[in-house]
């Protein structure tokens, strides 16, 4: 195996393919070894995700229930009040979260009053001592700098899939737009959260391609969410088959080996996984989950806080403490 104490940004497609197709138990063993070299095996970061502006998005991401053009049963909600957001963040911290992520269903950030309000929210959450993250769509360099100045710790902007498959799931922007925003975030000195979704109808080569792009960025994302498609009724992908849990385990394991220092986040899809299946994901190197008071991950189901607490106790996991 590659020297596990080394960070590499020159992974070849062939190397990643070999890893990806390893027998599962061998792959998990390697990933677990890398995980234990770089991280505590028992510490799992709990991130709270809050949709601060829901639905009505102009984009056409085929998996997303918040795209205005699809007939989903999502309730559109305007940007939340700062005070409400801050009280949810305070409760999230009290229940063990060390990171608070705010999501707005926007194509891109506009330089308007809503952006000013988000900047105030970022300041308020930062003052609570939480890592504050946002996912607001595309960002210019100046907007990224303003978020950084307000105290933003991380920015989420997923690649979703491979460059080759991207056009099949989104037509309203191109892969290069994603990379451009990631570049703006990095230049502003904000930590990068970037991963993808499996189960969109992509091939294994597409998954390998996405991992190749992520692991060959000049600096690996500090955070890599791996999502299983949540099949939202009314979206073009509603009838796809459920993602096989072993595919999630495989993706997580390869991401862990390629990007050893990153927090690998077991993201959408947990509500359809048993505790045993989630345990396999942790064994493969996942060290973060998302929770939310509303038991929804944006607009799709997520496990109850109590269920997660019981899972942590059973598996001997502890929430990673605050920065």
**Is 194 among the catalytic positions?**
no
* Smallest distance, ligand SF4 to C-beta of residue 196, A: 12
* Smallest distance, ligand SF4 to C-beta of residue 232, A: 10
- List 57, 134, 194, 281, catalytic entry: 57
CA distance 312 to 212: 32
Consult the annotation and say whether 101 binds a ligand: yes
Nearest Cα neighbor of 130 from 158, 81, 96, 156 is: 96
Span interacting with ligand SF4, options 55-63, 74-82, 87-95, 139-147, rule CB under 6 A = 55-63
Identity of the residue, 67 or 311, whose beta carbon is nearer to ligand SF4 in the bound complex: 67
- List 193, 250, 270, 281, catalytic entry: 193
Please check whether residue 118 is in contact with residue 98, taking contact to mean a CB–CB distance below 8 angstroms.
Answer: no
Consult the annotation and say whether 134 binds a ligand: no
* First-last CA distance in the chain: 32
**Is 47 among the catalytic positions?**
no
Strand runs labelled E in the chain: 43-53, 99-104, 131-135, 154-156, 191-193, 196-198, 223-228, 263-266, 288-291, 296-297, 300-301, 318-319
Distances (CA, A) of 287 to 35, 226, 292: 9, 11, 17
61-80: which residues touch ligand SF4 (CB under 6 A)?
A: 61, 64, 66-67
SS (H, E, C) 235-289: CCCCCCCCCCHHHHHHHHHHHHHHCCCCEEEECCCHHHCCHHHHHHHHHCCCCEE
* Smallest distance, ligand SF4 to C-beta of residue 88, A: 20
CA distance 120 to 115: 9
Q: Compute the radius of gyration of the chain from its Cα atoms.
A: 18
Consult the annotation and say whether 47 binds a ligand: no
Span interacting with ligand SF4, options 58-66, 212-220, 249-257, 315-323, rule CB under 6 A = 58-66
Structure-block tokens of residue 289: 């989950």
Consult the annotation and say whether 99 binds a ligand: no
Please report whether residue 137 would count as binding ligand SF4 according to CB under 6 A: yes
Span interacting with ligand SF4, options 7-15, 59-67, 143-151, 280-288, rule CB under 6 A = 59-67
**Is 133 among the catalytic positions?**
yes
> With contacts defined by CB under 6 A, how many residues of the chain interact with ligand SF4?
9
Identity of the residue, 170 or 320, whose beta carbon is nearer to ligand SF4 in the bound complex: 170
HSE, CB side, 13 Å, CA atoms: give it for residue 248.
28
91-110: which residues touch ligand SF4 (CB under 6 A)?
A: 105, 107
**Is 281 among the catalytic positions?**
no
| Beta bridge partners of residue 3, listed in sequence order | none
Q: Identify the residue among 27, 50, 52, 57 touching ligand SF4 (CB under 6 A).
A: 57
**Is 270 among the catalytic positions?**
no
* Smallest distance, ligand SF4 to C-beta of residue 138, A: 9
Identity of the residue, 96 or 199, whose beta carbon is nearer to ligand SF4 in the bound complex: 199
The pairs formed by 171-176 with CB atoms below 8 angstroms and a separation of 24 or more are: 171/60, 172/58, 172/59, 172/60, 172/107, 173/59, 173/107, 173/138
* Smallest distance, ligand SF4 to C-beta of residue 76, A: 11
* Smallest distance, ligand SF4 to C-beta of residue 207, A: 19
Which residue ranges make up the annotated binding site for [2Fe-2S] cluster?
101, 133, 193, 265
Q: Which residues bind ligand SF4 (CB under 6 A)?
A: 57, 59, 61, 64, 66-67, 105, 107, 137
Which residue ranges make up the annotated binding site?
57, 61, 64, 101, 133, 193, 265
Q: Which residues are catalytic?
A: 57, 61, 64, 101, 133, 193, 265
């Amino acid at each position: 195996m590659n020297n596990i104490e080394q960070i590499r940004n020159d992974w070849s497609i062939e190397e990643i393919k070999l890893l990806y197709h390893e027998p599962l138990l061998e792959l998990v063993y390697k990933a677990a070894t890398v995980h234990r070299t770089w991280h505590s095996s028992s510490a799992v970061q709990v991130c709270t995700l809050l949709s601060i502006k829901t639905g009505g998005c102009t984009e056409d991401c085929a998996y997303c229930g918040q795209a205005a053009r699809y007939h989903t049963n999502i309730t559109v909600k305007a940007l939340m009040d700062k005070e409400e957001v801050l009280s949810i963040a305070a409760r999230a911290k009290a229940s063990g979260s060390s990171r608070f992520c705010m999501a707005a269903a926007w194509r891109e950030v506009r330089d308007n009053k809503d952006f000013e309000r988000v900047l105030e929210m970022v300041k308020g959450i930062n003052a609570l001592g939480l890592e504050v993250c946002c996912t607001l769509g595309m960002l210019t360099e100046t907007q990224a700098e303003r978020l950084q100045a307000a105290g933003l710790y991380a920015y989420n902007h997923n690649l979703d899939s491979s460059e080759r498959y991207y056009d099949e799931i989104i037509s309203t922007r191109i892969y290069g737009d994603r990379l451009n925003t990631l570049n703006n975030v990095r230049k502003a000195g904000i930590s990068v959260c970037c991963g993808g979704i499996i189960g969109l109808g992509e091939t294994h080569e597409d998954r390998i391609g996405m991992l190749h792009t992520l692991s060959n960025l000049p600096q690996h994302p500090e955070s890599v969410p791996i999502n299983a498609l949540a099949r939202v009724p009314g979206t073009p992908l509603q009838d796809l088959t459920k993602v096989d849990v072993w595919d999630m385990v495989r993706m997580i394991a390869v991401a862990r080996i390629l990007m050893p220092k990153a927090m690998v986040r077991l993201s959408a899809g947990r509500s359809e996984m048993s505790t045993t299946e989630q345990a396999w994901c942790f064994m493969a190197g996942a060290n973060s989950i998302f929770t939310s008071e509303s038991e929804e991950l944006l607009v799709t189901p997520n496990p109850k806080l109590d269920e997660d607490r019981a899972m942590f106790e059973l598996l001997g996991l502890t929430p990673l403490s605050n920065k």
